[in-house]
Amino acid sequence: MGICEDRVVIVTGAGRGIGRGHALEFARQGAKVVVNDLGAEADGTGGSTGPAGEVVDAIRAMGGEAVANGDDVADWAGAQRLIQTAIDAFGQLDVLVNNAGFLRDRMVVTTSEEEWDAVIRVHLKGHFAPTRFASAYWREQQKNGEAVDGRVINTSSGAGLMGSVGQGAYSAAKAGIAGLTMVEAAELGRYGVTANAIAPAARTRMTEAVFADTMAAPEDDAFDVMAPENIAPLVVWLGSADSAGVTGRVFEVEGGMISVADGWQHGPQADKGDRWDPAEVGPVVRRLLSEAPAPTPAYGA
């Protein structure tokens, strides 16, 4: 018996890397898993049914239940089909893990419109669209008097929390996901649903290309801090019944480390009680900045 026994889980982008680790660990913990993956390259091009099918085979080999889904999570109709896949295959949906994404790294000055649109689409819309249809399902259940214990687990990034040089589109999308998570937590609680996000650091096709030295696997038997499967335990717990009441949070997770990210909060303020003259503003802002904590530098700055 695992902590997610008989729960039905969708994991997007589950054919490789972090998402694959999520899907396998959910299955080990007794969940029935919809493995979603387009089988695209790291930059989002191409596609294959192979990766999702391989994960399904691995889950079934361990005695678990899983089905593959190849829908595009950022396509409106595809996102709806994805949610329906879980309901048709297993009769319900309890957990949605939004993980799918890719990179088109560029400096702001060289980013093309197509690159910007592609990254924002897959990450931000690709988180929103499946959640939109999962939320409608849970709301309908709640209206029908059925017990709902739903979970949305989103995937932000340190790039979204602090920024990352050369990853403007990715950072903006991941920051948007963190903000979206706060809104989902506030809106979906009435239906029995929690919403949280993770900001993981692990070795994937995306991070290996950008941070090759940092992401390298150890050559000996030492703990592999950057192994992608290290992220799964927190995500699986967030998907379990035991996490009820934990909502609206962003967790940083890397290796054996779990941290609660401390995001935007109201800081030092000055209130004149009247309209400011522009010449007055400089000294006031400088004083407020001296009283506020310094921002964490962007990655690569």
Cβ neighbours around 88 below 10 Å, total: 11
For strands 257-260 and 250-254, give the pairing.
antiparallel
Half-sphere exposure of 277 (CA within 13 A, CB side): 2
CA 261 to chain centre: 14
Indicate the burial class of 142 (C-beta count within 10 angstroms; 0-12, 13-18, 19 or more).
middle
CB 19 within 8 A of CB 37: yes
Distances in Å between the alpha carbon of 15 and those of 53, 149, 222?
A: 8, 26, 26
Using DSSP's 3-state secondary structure scheme, residue 98 falls into coil
Say which of 125, 156, 164, 174 is annotated catalytic: 174
> Which of 186, 208, 210 is CA-nearest to residue 196?
186
Asked if 164 is an active-site residue, the reply is no
The neighbouring-strand residues paired with 250 are: 197
Asked if 299 is an active-site residue, the reply is no
CB 12 within 8 A of CB 97: yes
CA distance 72 to 76: 9
Say which of 156, 157, 164, 240 is annotated catalytic: 157
Distances in Å between the alpha carbon of 147 and those of 139, 142, 197, 199?
A: 11, 7, 23, 30
Find where tokens 């700055």 sit: 301
CB 64 within 8 A of CB 27: yes
Say which of 170, 171, 243, 299 is annotated catalytic: 170
- Positions marked catalytic: 157, 170, 174
